[in-house]
Copies of this chain bind each other. A is one copy, B any other.
Amino acid sequence: MKNLLSMKDLTVEEIMSILKQAQLFREGASSQLKQDYTMANLFFEPSTRTKMSFEMAERKLHLNVLPFDAGFSSTLKGETLYDTVKTLESIGVDALVIRHEQNDFFNDLIGKVKPVIINGGDGTGNHPTQSLLDLLTIQQEFGTFKNKVISIVGDIAHSRVARSNADAFSRLGAKVNFVCPPNCNAEFEATYNIDEVIESSDVMMMLRVQHERHDGKSNFSKAEYHQQYGLTVEREKRMKENAIIMHPAPMNRDVEIASEIVECERSRIFKQMENGVFVRMAVIEMILKGRE
């Protein structure tokens, strides 16, 4: 693994190896990285979780982290992403985490620049470290992915989480259901009815309604969306014993998920965030060790 752009880049063996190392980090293992590396996190879209999680992972690995402020950089003067990355290469940066609004932004970079590229989310495309932390959370819960029923519910057309996860879950043997409003589906075979899956799912993975990616006004009020596609208090009660709730966050409380159940016993939402740090440590360590 030279870069991490998409879950499709990873073999099942590599995925399992990352999850194993992440779990070891979670249990207190120290990093095996020998050299001091310099990283930078280029977030061209707002983020709290992913950015802070990478920042924490990098510090736990004792890396040197340069601050980068997309809102105050030369991209404002029209500099291309390629030239910005070449600049950071010249300055001595070894690895970059990049979140960018453009799908497949990395196509302009791979094979042409020296720093490692870790995709922190590209437009409506991929978000591989989110997938990995989702996988770790499911593995911790069930020990296996085989025949687990995972229902991904919401705005799947605009969701890089849905895209990143779908393929990986399937390859690992899970069964994936998609549930979405009629106008939302772009490429996945989906049902429109959350009640069809609520009682049979091991994982209810609720997606955020991405108001900022809808240019026009939505067809639904928040209350209507919640009633038709949300994980309501009532639906939570009908979930299988031992079934869990996940959400990549940020959440719209009382839209895709009832506020009262965000921290209920089934919820793994904040545990997902805990796992994010360890998964990212594992990814960074694995890629940088490959360069030593």
- A residues engaging B (CB < 8 A)? 38, 40, 43, 46-49, 52-53, 55-56, 59, 64, 66-80, 83-84, 86-93, 208, 211-212, 249-253, 270-271, 273-274, 276-277
Contacts and interface: CB of A to CB of B under 8 A. Distances in A.
A48 B253 CA distance: 33
Contacts of A71: 71-72
A91 B253 contact: no
A74 B51 CA distance: 10
7 contacts: A46-B77, A47-B73, A47-B74, A52-B91, A67-B67, A90-B271, A91-B277
Q: Report the copy number of this chain in the oligomer.
A: 3
A52 B75 contact: no
Contacts of A251: 79, 83
Q: Which 5 A-B pairs have the closest CB atoms?
A: A90-B273, A79-B250, A48-B74, A74-B250, A48-B73
A28 to B, nearest CB: 12
Nearest to A270: B90
A202 B71 CA distance: 37
Contacts of A77: 46, 208, 211-212, 250
Main secondary structure of the interface of A (DSSP, over half): helix
B59 A64 contact: yes
Contacts of A70: 72
A68 B72 CA distance: 12
A74 B91 contact: no
Contact of A276 (B43, B52, B91): B91
Nearest to A89: B270
Given A64-B59, A72-B43, A250-B78, A90 B48 contact: no
Contacts of A78: 211, 250, 252
Given A91-B274, A92-B277, A55 B66 contact: yes
A220 to B, nearest CB: 16
A83 B66 CA distance: 27
A101 to B, nearest CB: 13
Given A46-B74, A48-B87, 4 more contacts: A48-B79, A55-B67, A77-B208, A83-B251
Contacts of A72: 43, 46-47, 69-71
Contacts of A253: 80, 83
A203 B52 CA distance: 43
